[in-house]
Amino acid sequence: MNKTIFLVGARAAGKTTMGKMLANKLSYSFIDTDHHLLETTQRTVAEIVEKEGWEGFRARESQVLVDTTKSNRVIATGGGMVLAQQNRDFMKQHGIVFFLSAPASTLAARLMKDPNVAQRPSLTGLSIADEMEKVLADRLPLYHDAAHHIIDVNQDENLILTQMLELLHSN
């Protein structure tokens, strides 16, 4: 099974955590697109947005997606990667896409434990809970459009990993 596996979902859905676990289990390499962007530009998402606006950041994000796509790799994408139709199409054509799905309340609770505010500017200026509700409502159809499989991440990590592996082996 020489595939690229893409993980999409909102902030705090567990894309990095689950991505590393899955990559480890499959002996794949792991890439986090936001982290890759930080390493290659030496700037945080917040700094890129400040200098180039969200449009500039999204363009860079799309380029990182193309640059990092290789077989035998698990890629955790930024929460907004699905905003561009070209990114959703690219992921569907070049690999298997898992949407890590959780209710906004779960995501907000996770973010409040570790908001990582410097890493990610607020998208709406709302409270974390209200922002998660709004962003999730806006992006849900896009996550569904991008995904081959939807995984409920509101459960134990080992159960999530088992489900992902079973789905991969049934493909």
Give the chain's domain count. Answer: 1
Range of the domain at 139: 4-170
Among candidate residues 51, 5, 1, 11, the one with its CA nearest the CA of residue 135: 11
SS3 15: helix
Residue-wise pLDDT for 125-167, tens only, equals 778 788 888 888 899 999 999 999 999 999 999 999 999 999 9
- Can you give the CATH number for the domain in which 84 is found? 3.40.50.300
3-state SS string for 16-54: HHHHHHHHHHHCCEEEEHHHHHHHHHCCCHHHHHHHHHH
Burial class (CB in 10 A: 0-12, 13-18, 19+), 28: buried
Per-residue pLDDT reduced to its tens digit, 44-93: 888 999 999 999 999 999 999 999 999 999 999 998 999 999 999 999 99
- pLDDT-based confidence at residue 1 (cuts at 50, 70, 90): low
Q: Read off the tokens for 135.
A: 């962003």
Please state, in angstroms and rounded to a whole number, the distance separating the CA atoms of residues 102 and 144.
13
